Structure 1
Amino acid sequence: MSSLLTNSTAMTALQTLRSVSSQLSTTQNRISTGQRVATASDNAAYWSIATSMRADNAALSAVSDSLGLSAATVDTEYTALTTVIGDKDSGLTKLQSLLVQAKTAGIDRTKIQADVTQIQQQMKSTANAATFNGINWLSTTTGTTPTSFSLVSSYSRVGGTPTIGSITVTTANYTLYSSTQTGILDTVSGSASVDTINISALTDSAADQTTLDGYIAQVTTAINSVAASAANLGAVKNRISTNTEFVKSLMDSVDRGVGQLVDADMNAESTRLAALQVQQQLGVQALSIANNSSQSILSLFR
């Protein structure tokens, strides 16, 4: 039945056109944003999960930055420790060889002491220079240097409970010099510390030879202690490096997980866009035909 008041065909065409236009708008939004879940209204569950995972990734990014800072600090201290150990031409290794040389009868120990003094000053200068971001574990001052440092190493979240992992570094394990003279190189043993050894006044007497033996043993002990500290710090350095790589891999994994939840399939969306555009054109054409059909009624009154 043809009616002037109710055009059922036009109404059906209009409903179809509204549906197609709505789908077309959704598809265009997905193509422009690259996401099929851009807001909570798109999919509340997936949007909530993706938001939490993005927050976790931001925390992991902060952990990565912290690990970078920790790595630089540890590398600075580690480099200084290995420099203090030295080799045949420097550091504790050279100091030990000079003291052994001083055991030679009739040798000029004053000249040897000149080299010893330079090595002592160089080691202290190295320890003082081992500062990164205001932190120095090798040369400490009681009251201003914490007894331990916590280096942030990881972040995880189970449910709503976050857990932050850390690597604890005890300052005393690496201290070479301290204001209380309890460091590896300034702790007094017998009559002197490694930092204050002076052989210029020693002679070939049995007593002075015994003193030299004590100095040599003291330096040997210091070499072992500093080497142990460097080995410990080297292990911390490797752990930080491993954690850094893991955190980066974990961030990539989280990014992939978020992408699987909310990213749009651009191949599918482009195909859908083309189809909807055709449907929209057909819908407009159908609505035009439906509207024009009522015009035929006018011919009945001519």
Structure 2
Amino acid sequence: MSSDLLTPSLARAAPMASASASVLERTMRQSAVPDPETVADASAYWSIATTMRPGSLSMASVQEANDIAVAVTDTAALGLEQATDIVAQIQQKLIFAKAVGVDREGINADISQMKTDLGTAIDESSFNGDNWLKMEAGGRPKVASLIASVTVGEDRSLSINMVDFDTARSTLVSRQEARDGTLTRAYGGSTLAGVPYNYFLLDAGSQEPAEAGAREIRLDRGTTSDEIDGMISSLNRVLIDMVGASAAVNSTRNQVTGGGLGVAAIQGASELGVSRLVDSELSEQGVHLMAEKVQEQLQSSSLNIANVSMTAWLKL
């Protein structure tokens, strides 16, 4: 083999290797990402994502708080619906009790069972320790603040919008002050026949019971028709208050539920943005860098082949 044949090969290989090394050096200098093999150890590359992700974590906390708010209002709304149905059934029993010859003691047994079911429905209307329908001894109705929605400003700042609900509007039973509960407070007035009445539906053993002279709604053999009229009138007012409470809770529920969708959407967009930023930058720059490395290796291999062939020819 002639040296004239090898000399051009060496002449071509050396400049190619030099050019590849130069391009590789420039690519690594311009690239925003480190070598893919050591990217896990390069904290500088993740600086943008690191500053963005705390916002995503904050959104996750907001979403969790909003989910709890939705669950609390859902539970209260369902409990009020069940309680209202039971009170309406008790009123129907009282109307039936006005018929001549009926067994009022038997009807009272049915009413007693309904009261037990009513108490159970109220006790079970609790979520995360919050029960908007019941007040324990030592407690008073309070204003609950719930996360309703989140607004993102032009500077990417987050504004958390709250909605307040006064639990005095939904409390049905109070074991502290009977007057704080719709079912434990007494409703007084006069029937259409001019007979005075003052009745409450449930005796919850409140620390401060209903006013003197108020009586619990219950039947026995001696209960008069006028007294039953007073009980029915009391429950009319109870039902009006319960319907108003349901409207208030459902209004708050709608505000909180609508806000939850906004929180989820903002959080999803934020996570997607971070993911695309990281993935696209790593993919584009990393692939480009790897391509330059492969090209350098190929050029180096060509130069090595030429050197080996030259050495073999000199030994001949």
TM-score class, shorter-chain normalisation, is: 0.7 to 0.9
| Equivalent in the alignment of 1:94 | 89
Instruction: Tell me, yes or no, if structure 1 residue 281 matches structure 2 residue 297.
Output: yes
Percent pairwise identity: 25
Which of 9, 22, 27 does residue 23 from structure 1 map onto? 27
2:262 alignment partner, SS class: helix
Is the 8 Å Cα contact of residues 33 and 282 (structure 2) preserved in structure 1? no
Structure 1 residues 74-85: aligned runs within 5 Å:
74-85=73-84
Structure 1 residues 249-264: aligned runs within 5 Å:
249-264=265-280
Structure 1 residues 173-252: aligned runs within 5 Å:
173-178=169-174, 179-182=176-179, 183-190=181-188, 191-195=198-202, 196-203=216-223, 208-252=224-268
Instruction: Tell me, yes or no, if structure 1 residue 128 matches structure 2 residue 123.
Output: yes
How many residue pairs get aligned? The number is 271
Amino acid in structure 2 at the alignment position of 1:181:
A
Q: More displaced, 233-242 or 62-71?
A: 233-242
Compute the displacement of 1:176 (Å).
0.3
Q: Alignment RMSD, CA only?
A: 3.9
Is the 8 Å Cα contact of residues 33 and 39 (structure 2) preserved in structure 1? no
Residues 14 and 169 (structure 1), Cα distance of their counterparts in 2 relative to 1, 3 Å cut: same
Is the 8 Å Cα contact of residues 59 and 155 (structure 1) preserved in structure 2? no
Structure 1 residues 141-160: aligned runs within 5 Å:
141=136, 143-144=138-139, 147-156=142-151, 158=153, 159=155
Residues 250 and 162 (structure 1), Cα distance of their counterparts in 2 relative to 1, 3 Å cut: closer
Structure 1 residues 45-124: aligned runs within 5 Å:
47-48=47-48, 50-86=49-85, 91-124=86-119
Compute the displacement of 1:145 (Å).
5.4
Could you tell me which runs of 5 or more consecutive residues in structure 1 were left unpaired when the two chains were aligned.
1-9, 296-302
Could you tell me which runs of 5 or more consecutive residues in structure 2 were left unpaired when the two chains were aligned.
1-13, 189-197, 203-215, 312-316
Residues 248 and 168 (structure 1), Cα distance of their counterparts in 2 relative to 1, 3 Å cut: same
Higher RCO, Cα 8 Å, sep 6+:
1
Compute the displacement of 1:284 (Å).
3.5
User: TM-score, structure 2 length as denominator?
Assistant: 0.70
Is the 8 Å Cα contact of residues 73 and 132 (structure 1) preserved in structure 2? yes
Residues 173 and 285 (structure 1), Cα distance of their counterparts in 2 relative to 1, 3 Å cut: same
Deviation by residue 1:70-118 (Cα, 9 ceiling, x = unmatched): 22222222222111112xxxx1121111111112133232221111122
Aligned counterparts of 1:78 and 1:135: Cα–Cα separation in 2 = 13
Is the 8 Å Cα contact of residues 79 and 122 (structure 2) preserved in structure 1? yes
Is the 8 Å Cα contact of residues 152 and 164 (structure 1) preserved in structure 2? yes
Is the 8 Å Cα contact of residues 24 and 289 (structure 2) preserved in structure 1? no
Compute the displacement of 1:128 (Å).
2.1
